[in-house]
Structure 1
């Protein structure tokens, strides 16, 4: 019985350490880094984009129609679009039909959206999984990134401050 209690306590400590470590990893400041060259395919029926031609700070959202967490995040992206925030999307390892169907069903928050069929652009961006959102400043530098669905706390503490910094860097 005493061994079971000790094992349970040890398991709890390990779990807490993992949770706190992941929290630190997500909340750590990241130095600006240049946006890499992306190799993207046009998503038929949607506006395309060239990162080098985008003026001002913007969000770059990597998503997939197959991703349940992306569906959870989608209403937040729609609200950000309604606020006038420029959002560009990269459909990661998706098909044109599935990506278009998802955007037709749930709404299209993107000023431009393209396909990363082979995953090379996501790899160049250092994307760990979907959804992942990067804030890119007017100077083309990645100012911050968030892996996972965007919440109100993430908006307040990471996204909005980085967008403000990105606007100041012009």
Structure 2
């Protein structure tokens, strides 16, 4: 009888340990990815940027004036900018005139903005559609959000990634 109890307790202890291990394994953050070289050109009359010269934690937002979800997320970007979060823009599949008009009409949330050259940057980043937002620090991508930023995306993905990157 003692052995049966001991075996039952050991089995229960093993189950608890396995569940704890699984829980801890699920809590590990995903690994970062290296930011690839980007082929960009300046958007006339706007501040540009070089990704390897940006210090600290920042967001890279891929957008286009033709993109309806980009229009929808724009107020969120403006709010993030007011919070002091550094956002850099990569304009994609746009004319300079259309990109300028978009920023003139809706406001410019970007510390710096550049244009993709012949889809090279979005291809290097593995982006299939706009908008997409990446959390970056020191040349490492900590997270990416495909689609427009929403309060849920901020709460569940972007803010935790910004926090993790700022602690690393």
1:74 equivalent in structure 2: 74
1:18 equivalent in structure 2: none
TM-score under structure 2 length normalisation: 0.81
Q: Deviations over 1:51-87 (max 9, x none)?
A: 1111100000000000000000000000000000000
1:155 equivalent in structure 2: 154
Q: CA deviation at 1:159?
A: 0.4
**Is 1:102 paired with 2:102?**
yes
| Larger Rg, first or second structure (1 or 2) | 2
**Is 1:144 paired with 2:139?**
no
TM-score under structure 1 length normalisation: 0.80
Superposed CA RMSD in Å reads 0.9
CA contact (8 A) 2:132 2:145 kept: yes
Q: Deviations over 1:12-65 (max 9, x none)?
A: xxxxxxxxxxxxxxxxx6421000000101000100001111110000000000
Q: CA deviation at 1:165?
A: 1.1
How many residue pairs are counted as aligned between the two chains?
A: 140
Separation (CA, whole Å) in 2 of partners of 1:150 and 1:115: 21
1:37 equivalent in structure 2: 37
Separation (CA, whole Å) in 2 of partners of 1:77 and 1:128: 20
CA contact (8 A) 1:69 1:149 kept: yes
1:128 equivalent in structure 2: 128
Q: CA deviation at 1:117?
A: 3.7
**Gapped regions of structure 2 (runs ≥ 5):** 1-28
